[in-house]
A = this chain, B = another copy of it.
Amino acid sequence: MKETKIQRGKQSIAFEKTPYVHSYASIVGPKEGEGPLASYFDMITKDFELGQNTWEEAESQLVTFAIKTAIKKGNLKPEQIRYLFAGDLLGQLIGSTFGVKDLNIPVFGLYGACSTMGESLSLASMCISGGFADYATAVTSSHFASAEKQFRFPLEYGNQRPLSATWTVTGSGAVVLSSQESDIKITGITTGTIMDYGIRDSMNMGASMAPAACNVIYQNLTDFDIPVDYYDKIITGDLGYIGQEILFKLLRDNGYEISQVHMDCGIEIYDNEKQDTHSGGSGCGCCASTLCGYIFEQLKRKEWKRILFVPTGALLSTVSFNEGQNIPSIAHGIMFERV
């Protein structure tokens, strides 16, 4: 890949002027703070409610903390951030809205389910690369309890969770992108189309999302004509154990073997055996907090040189689901490179 011009594949762009990761921050809840990635997060909250009256308000607190901390770590002031690209899982994006409204920064609200961190980074990248902002921030969040309330059962009901179910991460991650050089750059993006393989099991999001992850990974590799080992890691958002297995099979059917370089944030964020999280973690906050904790640290330490980060989203709605519709999915890929 040359960087002398904007190079485009079917669904991909290689940036002529690459955006850089200026700063970032992550925050997670107590359960994630007991998991194997604990040491990488900026903040682990002591309680699940963050001192708020509702779970939704708690989620908004995660968003506010992540953005403010990322800005502060970048030695910036909020007024230097030209745009926020923000989204979450909740209807009408209330996690984001109430988390960003007092910052007085122009906002683009985004929804791509758990793929939203990929969407926000993609759009913020275009914005920086196009010269429309000096600094733009991508942020997403999720909260276990607000998500269960939105999508599944009241927590008080105490429903049994099948082994294919994932556990929504309580957490948020924010990334400040800039045109100024730093040690991590975004060389390109691959934007997903909506995939629908007919999945109707809302307790098996991994199966719904695997085709979307396959679409983006396959397209990224073919658009740029690069081998799998071009990347040190190909990192999906929250496929979990079941989704990962399906992804491997789908990519093998398309001529790519990625099992040796694959990592899934949902699998990494919990100790599945000790923490009883079944198929793994999920939610917008899962890959966002893992990116802004563990993943960027590996790039900083030069453990990895190039990664493809692919947040995956199941476009589940209780309304369409109860009306008998399938659960389609989408993914968005970001190419990070250690400078």
Q: Which residues of A contact B (CB under 8 A)?
A: 6, 8, 11, 13, 53-54, 56-57, 82-83, 87, 89-94, 97-98, 100-101, 104-113, 119, 122-123, 126-127, 129-132, 149-150, 191-194, 196, 315-320, 323, 325, 328, 330
A15 to chain B: closest residue by CB: B132
Contact of A109 among B110, B127, B131, B196 (CB under 8 A): B110
7 further interface pairs, Cβ-Cβ under 8 Å (given A97-B194, A109-B119, A129-B132): A6-B131, A56-B319, A87-B111, A92-B320, A109-B110, A109-B111, A126-B127
Task: Find out whether the CB atom of A191 lies under 8 angstroms from the CB atom of B319.
Answer: no
Task: Find out whether the CB atom of A126 lies under 8 angstroms from the CB atom of B122.
Answer: no
Majority secondary structure of chain A interface residues (helix, strand, loop or mixed): mixed
Copies of this chain, count: 2
Contact of A107 among B8, B105, B149, B193 (CB under 8 A): B193
Task: Find out whether the CB atom of B192 lies under 8 angstroms from the CB atom of A107.
Answer: yes
Which residues of chain B come closer than 8 Å to A126, judged between CB atoms? 126-127, 130, 132
Which residues of chain B come closer than 8 Å to A57, judged between CB atoms? 323
Which residues of chain B come closer than 8 Å to A82, judged between CB atoms? 8
Contact of A97 among B13, B101, B122, B315 (CB under 8 A): B315
Which residues of chain B come closer than 8 Å to A109, judged between CB atoms? 110-112, 119, 330
Which residues of chain B come closer than 8 Å to A325, judged between CB atoms? 94, 98
